[in-house]
Amino acid sequence: MHLLVSVLTIVIGALLTAGGVQQLVFQGIINSRLYPLVGGTLGAVAGAFLLSAGIALFLKSALTRELVRATALVSIPVFVLIGFVRPLAGWPVKIVGIVYPIVLLVCIRKLTLQPTTRSEAK
């Protein structure tokens, strides 16, 4: 379960970061549009937070819980903003960007509440 959640988080974070950078570069910089520039930047940052949370989860870092909380605090408002307030993102990105950090918070709580076995405690 731990490996599945961490790898899925890394993949989703990488895809969201790539989508944000694509929006930033092609619509924002090349076409000189302000909203895609800001929205792409915010989406890339939120995706990078999700990517780093997945890496921390994969490495079983001591700060994983705090990073997952920070990811949720960044991702949810960003994807509400670029998904509903100023619609730049499609519905799959809206769902993944808003729902997945919440699911990740629940998963990290379940993963940290599981008792360790004797072999892991040594």
Domain count, the chain: 1
Residue 7 falls within a domain, yes or no? yes
Residue 64 lies in a domain: yes
CA distance 81 to 119: 46
- Asked if residue 81 belongs to a domain, the reply is yes
- On whether the CB atoms of residues 112 and 65 are closer than 8 A, the answer is yes
Rounded Cα distance between 86 and 26, Å, is 18
Range of the domain at 38: 2-110
Domain membership flag for residue 99: yes
* pTM greater than 0.75 (yes/no): yes
Q: Is residue 66 part of a domain?
A: yes
Express each pLDDT in 2-23 by its tens digit: 899 999 999 999 999 999 999 9
pLDDT band (50, 70, 90) for residue 119: low
- Structural domain includes residue 122: no
